């Protein structure tokens, strides 16, 4: 029995030895030309590192935190309390007809004086003419008419900014010249 086991082991070793010799023959000098070319190319190479750019110096600016306000105020963080301020529009009042239109789509087409001597502006929305007095609202940004003159209508709009605060924006509507019909 021992003899049979030795015979199989010695034949496996012989096959393994033949395989190793065959592989070592493949690893000869057939790639020596590539190795020589790599050595000559490597000798001429030098690494180049570009110098770092010069750092820019900036002027020091003092930041006054008292004028900016606290960014962590409850009114700025709580969505229910956002926009609570002096400029907050009255959302409970009854909306006027011209508040349904964007201000850009309205045209100031005329002026007249009422019976009590106060100026009245004539504003066209679509094909309808509306009479507007000081104190009326127009446009979608809570535009309050503050003054009516012979050639223009002044108004104050309330716009909500990114912080949720309401900011006033003054605007005017100029009297539209009548288009000449040919």
* Number of domains into which the chain is organized: 1
Is residue 1 included in any domain, yes or no? Answer: no
Is residue 101 included in any domain, yes or no? Answer: yes
Is residue 108 included in any domain, yes or no? Answer: yes
Is residue 94 included in any domain, yes or no? Answer: yes
Confidence of residue 134 (pLDDT cuts 50, 70, 90): very high
Residue 1 has pLDDT above 50, yes or no: no
Q: Where in the sequence is the domain holding 98, given as residue range(s)?
A: 71-174
CATH code: domain of residue 123? 2.30.30.830
Q: What is the pLDDT of residues 9-60, one digit of tens each?
A: 566 777 777 777 666 665 556 788 888 888 888 887 877 888 889 999 989 8
Is residue 59 included in any domain, yes or no? Answer: no
Q: What is the pLDDT of residues 58-97, one digit of tens each?
A: 898 887 777 666 666 665 555 555 555 667 888 888 999 9
Is residue 25 included in any domain, yes or no? Answer: no
pTM over 0.85: no
Is residue 157 included in any domain, yes or no? Answer: yes
Q: Can you give the chain as a three-state secondary structure string?
A: CHHHHHHHHHHHHHHHHHHHHHHHHHCCCCCHHHHHHHHHHHHHCCCCCCCCCCCCCCCCCCCCHHHHCCCCCHHHHCCCCCCCCCCCCCCCCCCCHHHHCCHHHCEEEEEEECCCCCEEEEEEECCEEEEECCCCEECCCCEEEEEECCCEEEEEEEEECCCCCEEEEEEEEEECCCCCCC
Is residue 53 included in any domain, yes or no? Answer: no
């Amino acid at each position: 029995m021992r003899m049979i086991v030795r015979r199989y082991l010695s034949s496996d070793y012989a096959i393994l030895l033949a395989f190793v010799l065959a592989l070592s023959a493949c690893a000869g000098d057939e790639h020596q030309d590539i190795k020589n070319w790599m050595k000559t190319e490597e000798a001429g190479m030098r690494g180049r590192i570009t110098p770092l750019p010069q750092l820019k110096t900036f002027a020091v600016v003092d930041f006054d935190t008292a004028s900016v306000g606290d960014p962590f105020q409850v009114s700025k963080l709580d969505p229910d309390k956002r926009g609570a301020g002096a400029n907050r529009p009255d959302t409970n009042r009854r909306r006027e007809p011209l508040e349904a239109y964007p201000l850009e789509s309205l045209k100031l087409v005329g002026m007249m004086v009422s019976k009590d001597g106060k100026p009245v502006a004539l504003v066209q929305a679509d094909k309808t003419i509306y009479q507007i007095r000081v104190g009326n609202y127009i446009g979608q940004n809570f535009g309050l008419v503050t003054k009516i003159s012979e050639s223009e209508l002044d108004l104050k709009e309330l716009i909500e900014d990114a912080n949720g605060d309401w900011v006033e924006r003054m605007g005017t509507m100029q009297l539209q010249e009548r288009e000449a019909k040919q």
